[in-house]
């Protein structure tokens, strides 16, 4: 274990880095796909060792920078979190890369696109394996810049540029928190994770608030959420990678990794709980009002991230990590299926114009159903093993009736929008032109892999981690609570589908959720008011007052006074004669001398 695991992890890193450095060619795209497949299979070896003996391993190189107080070095930590998530990230990136080779085949810069995806994966793996805050910060910023480049991939579209800027600005707001925490740790604690986590009994507000702000920005929690639906302007494979195993899960992963710091801080845990429950409920409600398929799936990601945050608030980081892992598979599958539909329907993304795709694309339709049911938490699919457990844990907790109620409402809404996707895409009449492309092997293979993972990974995890937990007894109704809420959501969705559209304008509450709550405040009201006030200041204060008074008017007033002082032209003959005589006398005196 001590030698094999680090060697394997380094092999994975180097093979991925080499695959991004290789000169671009069409053949290299397939080489990249096979490299990812091979690295995924290799990464299963240390995971297998981890299941047999739960050891933690840290590999450290010689210090890069030596200072009087701190040695900065590259260090990789291999524990349950990193060794479990590395194969997940590799598996999903392998599937997405294979899908991208087909999806982006007409793009002239497809080689650069695939390299960006691999770089995205590498930066996420730096975050996962980082053993000190410097290294984590490098990966953190790397993930941010790669998301900026990939969201704005189609730079000719103004919406794509706006969305990319929006993503990086919202993330920079969150990054202030991480920089604050890092600065505090440099001053009062240590950069290394082991030394840092030993001091978890010390409760301090500053680093915990910083971590919360960082997680809010990266994981798009309520108030810093508008960038995530806007990020759908990027290509669909980018959305799939961004929402499943990179970028948005980095914020939750940071809190899971440094959870011992939050452990004794009850105020911050309460904040986590409130924030997570609010995000879950709000994003699920917003998803119900949307019609763009990618935006609905994006808001469902925000909702699931809120659920993970709620678990961190209830002091259950392992459960949050379990849901993060399970969520990665079915969310990547949902996005790739939606990308396949969008490609098939000539770039049509509106759910209302889709329909009857069950007959024309049977395989993709089946995979969409599997992913949606897994997202709902249907029994024995992967989402069930984490989502159901989360709701049971909340029910057994005595501190969160409000959070439990909100989460149960969000569960109903999640089932409603998932069912809406299934019904609107697969059934009913077709409303749009269909491009004549078939479900080829390149499309189906990655989808099939992810679908199998979405079905089986929960059962495999349960069997591999099968220990003897203390028996928890609860009433049957409490045990079936999550399933009851999901069924209720499905029934509601079916009923809403059969209702005729309302003739009047959208009501305020519908508009509120449809525009992502206060989306108009930061993006419209604040910017317009700032522009208007600055325009008013510049025109009225500067132009009409300062420049006018100290410019032409001021100059003319000054010159008028000076002319009056320096001239004697006052129509008085005595003054003229006196001045003339004096001048004449002075000149004669000067000449005679």
State the distance between the two ends of the chain, measured CA to CA, in whole angstroms: 115
Per the DSSP assignment, residues forming a β-bridge with 60 are 75
Length of the chain: 593
Cβ(340)–Cβ(332) below 8 Å: no
User: How, if at all, do strands 65-66 and 57-60 pair?
Assistant: unpaired
Burial classification of residue 380, based on how many CB atoms lie within 10 Å of its CB (0-12 exposed, 13-18 middle, 19 or more buried) = exposed
User: What tokens were used for 180?
Assistant: 């604050």
> Is 78 in a helix, a strand, or coil?
strand
- Tens-level pLDDT at each residue, the chain (593 residues): 456 777 888 888 878 888 777 765 655 688 888 889 999 998 888 888 887 777 788 888 778 888 777 778 888 898 889 999 999 999 999 999 999 999 998 888 998 999 999 999 999 999 999 999 999 999 999 999 999 999 999 989 999 999 999 999 999 999 999 999 999 988 888 888 888 888 767 778 888 999 999 999 999 998 888 899 889 999 999 999 999 988 899 999 999 999 988 888 889 999 999 999 999 999 999 898 888 999 999 999 999 999 999 999 999 999 999 999 999 999 999 999 999 998 888 888 888 888 888 888 889 999 999 999 999 999 989 999 999 889 988 888 877 788 889 999 999 999 999 999 999 888 877 776 666 567 777 789 999 999 999 999 998 888 776 555 666 678 888 888 889 999 999 998 888 777 766 555 556 666 667 666 556 677 777 888 888 888 887 777 777 777 777 777 777 777 776 666 555 566 677 777 888 888 888 988 888 76
Cβ(143)–Cβ(268) below 8 Å: no
Cβ(217)–Cβ(174) below 8 Å: yes
């Amino acid at each position: 274990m001590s030698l094999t695991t680090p060697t394997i992890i380094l092999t994975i890193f180097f093979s991925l880095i080499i695959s991004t450095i290789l000169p671009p060619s069409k053949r290299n795209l397939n080489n990249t796909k096979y490299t990812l497949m091979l690295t995924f299979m290799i990464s299963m070896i240390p995971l297998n060792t981890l299941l047999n003996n739960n050891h933690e391993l840290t590999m450290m190189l010689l210090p890069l920078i030596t200072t009087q107080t701190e040695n900065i070095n590259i260090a990789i930590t291999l524990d349950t979190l990193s060794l479990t998530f590395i194969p997940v990230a590799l598996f999903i990136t392998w599937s997405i890369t294979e899908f991208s080779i087909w999806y982006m085949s007409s793009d002239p810069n497809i080689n650069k696109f695939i390299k960006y995806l691999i770089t995205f994966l590498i930066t996420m793996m730096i975050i996962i394996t980082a053993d000190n805050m410097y290294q984590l910060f490098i990966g953190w910023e790397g993930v941010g810049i790669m998301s900026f480049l990939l969201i704005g991939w189609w730079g000719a579209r103004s919406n794509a540029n706006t969305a990319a800027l929006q993503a990086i600005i919202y993330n920079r707001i969150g990054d202030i928190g991480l920089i604050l925490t890092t600065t505090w740790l440099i001053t009062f604690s240590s950069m290394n994770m082991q030394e840092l986590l030993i001091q978890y009994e010390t409760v301090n507000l500053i680093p915990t608030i910083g971590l919360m702000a960082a997680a809010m920005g990266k994981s798009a929690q309520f108030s810093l959420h508008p960038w995530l639906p806007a990020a759908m302007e990027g290509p669909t494979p980018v959305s799939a990678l961004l929402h499943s195993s990179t970028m948005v899960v980095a914020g939750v992963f940071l809190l899971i990794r440094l959870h011992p710091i939050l452990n004794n801080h009850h105020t911050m845990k309460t904040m986590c709980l409130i924030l997570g429950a609010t995000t879950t409920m709000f994003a699920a409600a917003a998803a119900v009002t949307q019609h763009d398929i990618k935006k609905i799936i994006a808001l469902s990601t925000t909702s699931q991230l809120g659920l993970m945050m709620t678990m961190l608030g209830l002091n259950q980081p392992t459960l949050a990590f379990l849901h993060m892992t399970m969520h990665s598979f079915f969310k990547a599958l949902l996005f790739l299926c939606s990308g396949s539909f969008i490609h098939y329907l000539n770039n049509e993304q509106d759910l209302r114009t889709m329909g009857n795709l069950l007959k024309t694309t049977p395989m993709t339709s089946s995979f969409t159903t599997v992913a949606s049911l897994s997202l709902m938490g249907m029994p024995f699919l992967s989402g069930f093993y984490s989502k159901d457990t989360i709701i049971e844990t909340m029910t057994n907790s005595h501190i969160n009736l409000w959070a439990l109620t909100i989460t149960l409402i969000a569960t109903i809404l999640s089932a409603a929008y998932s069912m809406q996707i299934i019904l609107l895409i697969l059934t009913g009449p077709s409303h749009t032109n269909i491009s004549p492309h078939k479900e080829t092997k390149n499309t189906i293979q990655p989808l099939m892999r992810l679908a199998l993972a979405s079905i089986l990974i929960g059962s495999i995890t349960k069997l591999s981690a099968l220990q003897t937990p203390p028996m928890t007894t609860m009433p049957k109704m409490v045990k079936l609570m999550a399933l009851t809420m999901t069924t209720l959501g499905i029934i509601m969705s079916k009923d809403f589908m059969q209702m005729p559209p309302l003739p009047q304008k959208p009501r305020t509450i519908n508009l509120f959720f449809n525009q992502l709550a206060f989306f108009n405040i930061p993006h419209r009201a604040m910017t317009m008011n700032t522009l208007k006030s600055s325009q008013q200041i510049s025109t009225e204060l500067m132009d009409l007052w300062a420049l006018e008074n100290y410019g032409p008017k001021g100059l003319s007033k000054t010159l008028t006074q000076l002319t009056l002082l320096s001239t004697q032209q006052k129509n008085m003959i005595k003054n003229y004669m006196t001045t003339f005589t004096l001048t004449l006398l002075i000149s004669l005196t000067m000449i005679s001398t």
